[in-house]
Chain A
Amino acid sequence: MLLNIKNLHVSIDGKEIIKGLNFSVNKGEIHAIMGPNGTGKSTLAAAITGREGYEITQGEIIFKGQVINDWSPDKRANEGVFLSFQYPIEIPGVSMTNFMRTALNARREYRKLPPVSAGDFLRKMEEKKKLVDIQSKLTNRSVNEGFSGGEKKKNEIFQMAMLEPELAILDETDSGLDIDALKVVANGVNQLKSGENAFIVITHYQRLLEYIVPDFVHVMYDGRIVKSGGKGLALELEERGYEWIKEQFDD
C-alpha cells in the first residue's frame, strides 16, 4: 500500500475540518475525490503534503509504510509526494529553470545522489516540456509570473513530470482550463501513469475524469468519505448533483 490514511482528523485554527477519514491508495491506481465545496478536499491535500496550520489532531497518514504526520513538507516531497496546486504561486526573479534544478537537486541530495549534470538536466527539461506542450520561453520566465491560468496548470504537470513522484495529488487541476488545455494536462498525466505511481485527482466535475479515467471515485462530505465506487459514480454525480448525498448525511 502506497498511502494509508487511518481515522484522520484535521483542524485549522481549532476548527475541525476533516472528521475521521479513512482512505488508501495502491500503486498503479487513480483515485478521484469529488464533493461539494467546503467539504475538506483541499484540506486533505494540505494534510497529506504537510502544510503548516493544518493540525492533525487524531489518526495517521502512512506513506510507504511510514507514519509521516510529523514530517516537514520538503521531506514528504522528497519521499515522493507531489501536489499540483489549485492556485500555483508566483516567485518573482526565480526562473523556472533554476527552480526546477534546485528542486531536482534537493531530491537527489535527499537520496544521497550527486547533483544532476547540466546536460542531463537540460535533456530532461526538453523531454518533459514536450509532454505538456510547454514553450521554452516559459521555463526562462520567473516561476508562474505572468503565466496564464492554463500555463500555470500545465506548468504544475510539467514539474510533476520532472520530479517523478510516487504519489501525485491534483487539486482542482481542471479549474480554469479550456478544453484544449484540459486535454493536454490529462494527456500528460496519462503518459506519466505507471504501475509504480498513483494519482489522487480532486475535482468538482466529471469533465476531467473523461480524460483521466479513475479506478475509484470517492465522495467527500463534511470531512469524511461518504461514498466510494467505480468511475460510474462520477457520472451519477454529474447527473444527480450532490443534493442527494447531502440529504443522506445531513441528518
Chain B
Amino acid sequence: MRDEKKNKDVLEEVTTGEYKYGFVTDIESDQAAKGLTEDTVRFISKKKNEPEWLLEFRLKAYRHWLTLEEPDWALLHHPPIDYQDIIYYSAPRPKKELENLDEIDPELLDTFNKLGISLEEQKRLSGVAVDAVIDSVSVKTTFQDTLAKHDIIFCSISDAVKNHPDLVKKYLGTVVPYTDNYFAALNSAVFSDGSFCYIPKGVRCPIELSTYFRINAANTGQFERTLLIADEGAYVSYLEGCTAPMRDENQLHAAIVEIVTYDDAEVKYSTVQNWYPGSKEGKGGIYNFVTKRGLCKGRNSKISWTQVETGSAITWKYPSCILLGDNSVGEFYSVAVTNNYQQADTGTKMIHIGKNTKSTIISKGISAGRSNNSYRGLVRVSKNADNARNYSQCDSLLLGDKCGAHTFPYIKTGNDTAIVEHEATTSKISDDQLFYCQQRGIDKEKAIGLIVNGYAKQVLNKLPMEFAVEAQKLLAITLEGSVG
C-alpha cells in the first residue's frame, strides 16, 4: 500500500503551483559555438565520430531546412526565434565509460534525486530500464543485461549508430523524413542524441523502457531523436518523461520520434512532458516543437500514444499513426494542461491506408490562467481503406474565464465504407461541484485537483502504472485498484 502523500494529485499541483524543478546542475559543458551553419552540422557529426552517410543525411537536412519557412498555422504566438542565437550542441564531458551507478558524477545523481528520479531506487523498486539523457549525451544505461537476454537493443542513438549502423541506416528518416516539416528538417540536421530501441521478432519486452530527458546548459537547444522498431509479433511499452531547470531565456526543443511496427507488433508510447513552462508572468519557458509519428507497417499491428502534457511555454505536437497494414490500430490518448501564459496546439493525425484499420482519439484539454489550449487533429481515410473506423472525443475543461480552448478537427474520407465519429465537449468546473467537495471538508484547491483528475481519468488510466516517478506523481493512485 502506498502512503497517502504519494496519492496527492499532481495535476492539481501543476495547475496551481509554481514549477518545482527549477534548478541548474553545474556540469562542464563541451559545446558548439552559437549559431547554425554547415560547419555546425559538421562539428556535431565529428564530435560524435559519425560515419559519412550520417553526415550526408544531416547536411541534406540542413540544406533543405534553409529553403523552409517556420510554420505559422498553429494557434501559437511567440516572438520570432533567432536560430543563430542558439547553441546546437552541448555535452557533459565524458571522463570514461561508466559501468555502474557509483561512477556517475555525484552532482548528476543529486540532480536526479532532486527530481525524484533515483536510478538506484528505480532499479530496485520498479524494474525500469532507464536511458538517462542529460544534455544530449546518454550518461547511463541500465538493465542492459536483462534486455540482452532477449536480444532487445535499447541504447542511445549514438551508440546505435556505432554498434548497429545497418538498422539505423535502414530506418532513420523513413517515418519522419527530413523534408516533413521545418522542425523535422532542423532536428535531422543537428540532432544530438536520443534513444534507439529494437525489439526482435516475437519478443515481448519484459520491462517497461524509459528515458528521462533534461535540458541542462543555458541557450542549448535540445534535439532528441528517438527510433523505435518492433519486429513481427513484438511488444514494447515505452515511457518518455522530462523535466527541465528554470530558465529566463526561451529554449528551443525540436524532437523527432519515429516508430515502426511490423505484423502483429505493438508499441505503447507514453509521454509525461513537464518542461519548464515559463514564469507565472509568461516569461521564459521551453518552446517544444515535436514531430512524433508511428508507422503501422504490418498487418494487425498497433501503435498507441499516451501523453500527459503539462509543461513548456509552447507545445506544438501531433503524435500520429500511419495505418498502412491491414487491420492495424492507432490510438491517441492525451491530457494537455495549460496554465498562466502557456500555449498548446496539440493533437494527432490518423492516416488510414490499409483495410479494416481502426483509430481512437481521446483528447482532454485543461486550460487555466490566461493560457490557450488547442486540439488539432486530422483523420484521413484513403481510397483503399475499406471499413476504416475512427472514433474521436475531444473534451475541453476551462478553469476561470481568461483562458481559451479550441478544437480544430479535420476529417478527410476517400472511401464510402469509412465510419468516422467525432464528439466534442467544453465544460467548466461548476460551483456546485466545488461546493459539494468543500461541504465534505475538501478545500477548494484539492477539490479542483480531484475534479480535474476525474476528468482526465480516461487518459491517465492508459499510462503504465509501473513507472515509479512522474507517472506516479501524475496519477491519482486510488484505493480502487488495490481492493476489489
- Say yes or no: A73-B439 contact (C-beta < 8 A), given A93-B458, A94-B453, A105-B4: yes
Q: Is B24 located at the chain interface by the 8 A CB criterion?
A: no
Cα A103 to Cα B482 in complex, Å, equals: 19
How far is the CB of A138 from the nearest CB of chain B, in Å? 13
**Which residues of A are found within 8 Å of B433, using beta-carbon distances?**
89-91
The smallest beta-carbon distance between A76 and chain B, in angstroms, is: 8
Binds A, one of B247-255, B296-304, B310-318, B443-451: B443-451
CB-CB contacts below 8 Å: B445-467 with A: 446, 450-451, 453-458
**Which residues on B sit within 8 Å (CB–CB) of A73?**
435, 438-439
Question: How would you classify the secondary structure of chain B's contact residues: helix, strand, loop or mixed?
Answer: helix
Interface size of A in residues (CB-CB distance below 8 Å): 41
Q: Does A12 contact B (CB under 8 A)?
A: no
Question: A103 to B454, Cβ gap below 8 A?
Answer: no
Chain B residues contacting A159 (CB-CB under 8 Å) are: 440
Please measure, in the bound complex, the distance between the C-alpha atom of A53 and the C-alpha atom of B432, giving whole angstroms.
12
Chain B nearest Cβ from A250, distance in angstroms:
33
Query: Which residues from A are CB-within-8-Å of B436?
Result: 85, 88-89, 91, 143
Residues in B whose Cβ lies below 8 Å from that of A143:
436
Q: Does B479 contact A (CB under 8 A)?
A: yes
CB distance from B234 to the nearest CB of A (A): 33
Most buried by A among B440, B443, B450, B457: B440
Indicate whether A106 sits within 8 Å of B443 (C-beta atoms), given known contacts A89-B436, A93-B458, A99-B450.
yes
Q: A93 and B441 in contact (CB under 8 A), knowing A98-B478, A98-B479, A118-B1?
A: no
Contact between A52 and B479, CB atoms less than 8 A apart: no
Residue A82 is within 8 A (CB to CB) of chain B in the complex: yes
Taking a contact as CB atoms closer than 8 A, the residue among B435, B443, B457 that contacts A52 in the complex is B435
CB distance B455 to A93 under 8 Å? yes
Q: Which residues of A contact B478 (CB under 8 A)?
A: 95, 97-98, 101
B483 within 8 A of A: yes
Residues in A neighbouring B456, C-beta threshold 8 A: 93
B431, CB-defined interface residue at 8 Å: yes
A74 interface residue, CB < 8 Å from B? yes
- Interchain CA distance A53-B434 in the complex, whole Å: 13
Q: Which of B178-202 contact A (CB under 8 A)?
A: none
Within 8 Å CB of B443, what residues of A?
72, 74, 106
Of A53, A77, A91, which is within 8 A of B450 by CB?
A: A91
* CB within 8 Å: A-B pair count: 100
Alpha-carbon distance between A60 and B453 when the two chains are bound, in angstroms: 37
Smallest CB gap from B3: residue in A: A115
Please indicate the chain A residues that have their CB under 8 angstroms from the CB of B281 in the complex.
none
The 8 Å CB contact of A92, one of B437, B446, B454, B476, is B454
Query: What CA separation (Å) do A82 and B440 show in the bound complex?
Result: 7
Tell whether A67 is near chain B: CB-to-CB under 8 Å. Answer: no
Beyond A93-B458, A121-B479, is A163–B440 a contact (Cβ under 8 Å)? Answer: yes
A74-B444, A105-B4, A110-B441 known; A52+B431 contact, CB < 8 A = yes
Q: Name, among B456, B457, B476, B479, the residue most crowded by chain A CB atoms within 10 Å (CB to CB).
A: B479
- The answer to whether A106 and B441 touch across the interface, beta carbons within 8 angstroms, is yes
Whether A93 lies near B479 (C-beta < 8 A) is no
The answer to whether the Cβ of A142 comes within 8 Å of any Cβ in the partner chain is yes
Bound form: Cα–Cα A89–B454 in Å = 14
List residues of chain B with CB within 8 A of the CB of A78. 441
- A102 interface residue (CB < 8 Å to B): yes
Contacting pair B479 A102 (CB below 8 A)? no
- Contact residues in A for B450 (Cβ distance below 8 Å): 91, 94, 98-99, 102
Q: What is the CB-to-nearest-CB distance from A154 to chain B, in angstroms, rounded to a whole number?
A: 16
Q: List 6 A-B contacts (CB under 8 A).
A: A53-B431, A74-B443, A91-B437, A91-B451, A117-B1, A121-B479
Which B residues are closer than 8 A to A by beta carbons? 1, 3-4, 430-433, 435-444, 446, 450-451, 453-458, 476, 478-480, 482-483
